[in-house]
Amino acid sequence: MAAAYEGVDFYDISAQLSEEERAVRDTVRAWVDDKLVPVINEAYIEGHFPKELIAGMAELGLFGANLPEEYGCAGLNNVAYGLIMQELERGDSGVRSFASVQGALVMYPIYAFGSDEQKKKWLPKLASGELIGCFGLTEPDYGSNPSGMITTAKETANGWVLNGAKMWITNGSTADIAIIWAKTGAIDDAKSIRGFIVPTKTKGFSSKDQKGKLSLRASDTSELVLQNVEVGKDALLSKTGGIKSPLMCLTQARYGIAWGALGAAMGCYAEALAYSKQRVMFKKPIGGYQLQQSRLAEMLTEITKGQLLVLHLGRLKDAGTMRPQQVSLAKRNNVNVACDVAREARRLLGANGILVEYSAMRHMANLESVYTYEGTHDMHTLILGEDVTGIAAFE
Amino acid sequence: MKIAVCIKRVPDTETRVKVGGDGVSIDEAGVKFILNPYDEFAVEEALQRREEGGEVVVVTVGPDAAAETIRTALAMGADRGVLLKTDKIPADALAIAKALAAELKDGGYDLILFGKIAVDDYNHSVGTMTAELLGMPCVSAAVKLTVDGRRLTAEREVEGGIEVMECEVPAVITCDKGLNNPRYPALKGIMAAKKKPIETKPAALGAVRLTLKTLGLPPERKEGRIVGEGVAAIPELLRLLRQEAKVL
């Protein structure tokens, strides 16, 4: 079950991983080669998520893999979880996004903010892929400023009534349940933001896929509309309170993205390196020319720095000392690196680089979304700026 | 059913090996080791045949590092492992078969499975030799296996056809590609494997009568050559294929 793709490991970082961490990485790497790579190009061109992968992903244990075994999850540490994201995104950012949403944005909030009954009811079915979830925070007019949201939840005798609209929701049209964030108090009261588990079949809930995407084409992105959606008292994630709760979820997802984007970069580099040795121009392989060697050296350097960054971040997370601002630095850096690597790889591939049979341009286009979602590159700049100066630039 | 699966730690098939300084071993620096791909078929077959109350035991001869290979099989779902330790695996297949037979003979196994070859030395020997030492019937390179009570039927692919063999269990089967689709070790399995027992004991190797003298890489392939273009080049191409390459 050896994967044809060997990864990129210039500093022998593998030696810093435990045997289990390496085993997890190699399993997912081989699965990506066998199952994801053969179907991704068609799914990307056709513009849909390759749903046939869901059962295999669940069987491997890719959903919520760092959550405890008692809920049907694999109970991995955060480095192993990061390696899963790295390998998945080597395949495609859209498929990694699917796993990120299910694990970090749906299962994690139920795990962190839910009651025992909610955890027992939902987590095993989400881990097994029997149920798919989505995360409704962003709204048409509230992206980088989610505190401004205008979706509301009003308490009634029997539960809650939700009204509002959400946008850019990964898995929105596929999902069986949605984690919806809404204000339970006045519209300017960000402290009243709370999370709800809303079955998507509930009356008044509708979703519509967003068409015309030129990025993350192998991922379904939807608009959600909630019109007098009535849910019971048991829909409320009782431990949520304020914008901090959804931001905690985003920290989980961003952590995975910092690893994942690097996986895409590694895939692009490996493809470019192999191509540079084969493609002959002016009677020698293009890898023998200084311009391409410069490209490759630059890519390798940035990838290696990023690998050391996320590995250490993962160790901090496992030690329980990781701060969200440290995640911002890693997401910001590694996605930016990945964007650059993908673009340079595409250029090294010449005309072939625009074809779907090579992965560079697909990754390049995907990574523009990754650059923009889960806190834009710019917002993470400002988060870091605030952290070091103590002065917020965006409030 | 109590099933033993004999496995081997081998270099990743994607690895480009280098001959080590001693000229008789490969340079292991930077080489990734994996579970021999044919042994994956054996592990998978065992897992599919393990009934309620049955057991799948993985046995290997190798250095301490082979425990990692055992854990791969445990992660796939095997119950426990036995590492017959030797720092250096001898080139004499019979010496290894004797160590395995010594371990397996009183184990009460109904079925003993091997991969048909190890992809590092291509010996095809250890499985059939072990069967002989245990006095058990052996079907090599099986592509299909059915067990009904004590009766075992195995199919082998032979030149131009299928051979169907029958015997009683206990028996030794060496497994070929096509027997099944080996599962991935699921992440939960990888975590569970840490808690499964691996017993380590010295390998009771038989006498080593064969020694490896030298190990060399195949000669570099000569660069291709273009004999001409279009239809006009065909006669010259045919002449070269006949007279020089002697492939026609």
Tens of pLDDT along A284-295?
A: 999 999 999 999
Q: Record the tokens describing residue A391, joined without a space.
A: 């002065």
**pLDDT single digits (tens) A238-278:** 999 999 999 999 999 999 999 999 999 999 999 999 999 99
Could you tell me the pTM of the whole model? 0.91
- Model confidence at B139, in pLDDT bands (50, 70, 90)? very high
pLDDT reported for residue A108: 97
Q: Record the tokens describing residue A63, joined without a space.
A: 């959903």
- A230 part of the active site: no
pLDDT reported for residue B17: 85
Which one of A46, A298, A374, A395 is the catalytic residue?
A374
pLDDT reported for residue A394: 84
Burial A303-320 (b: 16+ CB within 10 A, else e): bbebbebbbebbeebeee
Q: Do A31 and B40 touch (CB under 8 A)?
A: no
Average pLDDT of the segment spanning B87-98 = 95
Q: What backbone phi and psi angles, to 5 degrees, belong to A44?
A: -65, -45
Long-range contacts for A188-194 (Cβ within 8 Å, ≥24 apart)? Answer: A190/A147, A190/A148, A190/A242, A190/A243, A191/A241, A191/A242, A192/A242, A193/A147, A193/A149, A193/A240, A193/A241, A193/A242, A193/A243, A193/A245, A193/A246, A194/A153, A194/A236, A194/A237, A194/A240, A194/A241, A194/A245
Other CB atoms within a 10 A radius of the CB of residue A395 amount to 8
Q: Is B167 helix (H, G, I), strand (E, B) or coil?
A: strand
Q: Do A80 and B187 touch (CB under 8 A)?
A: yes
Distance to chain B for A186, nearest Cα, Å: 45
- Model confidence at B224, in pLDDT bands (50, 70, 90)? confident
A-chain residues near B71 (CB < 8 A):
19, 23
Where do we find the tokens 């059913």?
B1
Average pLDDT, chain A: 97
Of the candidates B1, B28, B48, B90, the residue with the CA atom closest to the CA atom of residue B183: B48
Q: Do A2 and B14 touch (CB under 8 A)?
A: yes
**pLDDT single digits (tens) B187-206:** 999 999 999 999 999 999 99
Angle formed at CA B7 by CA B6 and CA B12, multiple of 5 degrees: 170
- Is the pLDDT at B218 greater than 90? The verdict is no
How far apart, in Å, are the Cα atoms of A82 and each of A64, A120, A256, B22? Answer: 11, 25, 5, 40
**Among B38, B188, B195, B196, the residue to mutate for chain A (most A Cβ within 10 A):** B188
Average pLDDT of the segment spanning A68-85 = 97
Q: Record the tokens describing residue B142, joined without a space.
A: 């099986």
Q: Do B14 and A3 touch (CB under 8 A)?
A: yes
Residue B160 DSSP label? T
Least CA distance to B40: which residue of chain A?
Answer: A1
Q: How many angstroms separate the CA atoms of B1 and B150, rounded?
A: 10
Q: Do A2 and B75 touch (CB under 8 A)?
A: no
Q: What backbone phi and psi angles, to 5 degrees, belong to B163?
A: -110, 130
Max CA pair span of chain B: 71
How far apart, in Å, are the Cα atoms of A300 and each of A13, A266, B32, B78? Answer: 14, 8, 21, 39
Q: Is A225 helix (H, G, I), strand (E, B) or coil?
A: strand
Give DSSP secondary structure letters for B27-63.
--TT--EEE-HHHHHHHHHHHHH--TT-EEEEEEEE-
**pLDDT single digits (tens) B7-57:** 999 999 888 888 998 988 889 888 889 999 999 999 999 999 997 789 999
pLDDT reported for residue A178: 98
Q: How many angstroms separate the CA atoms of A241 and A243, rounded?
A: 7
Residue A53 DSSP label? G
Whether B144 and B179 have beta carbons less than 8 Å apart is answered as yes
Cis peptide before B170 (omega within 30 of 0): yes
**pLDDT single digits (tens) A187-202:** 999 999 999 999 999 9
pLDDT reported for residue A370: 98
Q: Do B187 and A65 touch (CB under 8 A)?
A: yes
Q: Do A30 and B40 touch (CB under 8 A)?
A: no
Q: How many angstroms separate the CA atoms of B243 and B239, rounded?
A: 6
Whether B155 and B164 have beta carbons less than 8 Å apart is answered as yes
Q: Record the tokens describing residue B102, joined without a space.
A: 């010594």
Q: Do B190 and A31 touch (CB under 8 A)?
A: no
For the CA atoms of A87, A88, A94, A96, the dihedral, rounded to the nearest 10 degrees, stands at: -100
Q: How many angstroms separate the CA atoms of A220 and A92, rounded?
A: 13
Give me the amino acid identity at A184: T
Q: How many angstroms separate the CA atoms of B140 and B157, rounded?
A: 10
Whether B55 and B31 have beta carbons less than 8 Å apart is answered as no
Q: Do A27 and B182 touch (CB under 8 A)?
A: no
Give DSSP secondary structure letters for A19-36.
HHHHHHHHHHHHHIIIII
A-chain residues near B190 (CB < 8 A):
20, 23-24, 27, 74
Give me the amino acid identity at B3: I
Residue B22 DSSP label? T
Q: Is A78 helix (H, G, I), strand (E, B) or coil?
A: helix
A-chain residues near B30 (CB < 8 A):
12
CB of B185 less than 8 A from some CB of A: yes
Q: How many angstroms separate the CA atoms of A390 and A153, rounded?
A: 34
Average pLDDT of the segment spanning A286-311 = 98
Whether A20 and B192 have beta carbons less than 8 Å apart is answered as no
Q: Do A2 and B35 touch (CB under 8 A)?
A: no
The alpha helices in chain A, defined as continuous H runs, are: 19-31, 37-46, 54-60, 78-91, 93-100, 108-113, 116-127, 244-278, 290-319, 324-348, 360-372, 377-389
Of the candidates A3, A59, A75, the beta carbon closest to that of B186 is on A59
CB of B119 less than 8 A from some CB of A: no
Strand pairing report for B111-115 and A152-155: unpaired
pLDDT reported for residue A3: 65
Q: How many angstroms separate the CA atoms of A86 and A73, rounded?
A: 19
Least CA distance to A64: which residue of chain B?
Answer: B187
Other CB atoms within a 10 A radius of the CB of residue A109 amount to 25
A-chain residues near B14 (CB < 8 A):
2-4, 6
Query: For residue B222, with 0-12 CB atoms within 10 Å meaning exposed, 13-18 middle and 19 or more buried, which class applies?
Result: exposed
**pLDDT single digits (tens) B112-137:** 999 999 999 999 999 999 999 999 99
pLDDT reported for residue A190: 95
- Model confidence at A2, in pLDDT bands (50, 70, 90)? low
Least CA distance to A84: which residue of chain B?
Answer: B187
How far apart, in Å, are the Cα atoms of B14 and each of A279, A287, B76, B193? Answer: 21, 22, 21, 25
Q: What backbone phi and psi angles, to 5 degrees, belong to A36?
A: -85, -50
Distance to chain A for B84, nearest Cα, Å: 20
Of the candidates A12, A20, A27, the beta carbon closest to that of B184 is on A27
Q: Record the tokens describing residue B41, joined without a space.
A: 């078929």
- Model confidence at A363, in pLDDT bands (50, 70, 90)? very high
CB of B186 less than 8 A from some CB of A: yes
CB of B39 less than 8 A from some CB of A: no
Interface of A with B in 47-86 (CB under 8 A): 59-62, 65, 69, 74-76, 80, 84
Other CB atoms within a 10 A radius of the CB of residue A56 amount to 15
The region of weakest confidence among A36-50, A52-66, B221-235 is B221-235
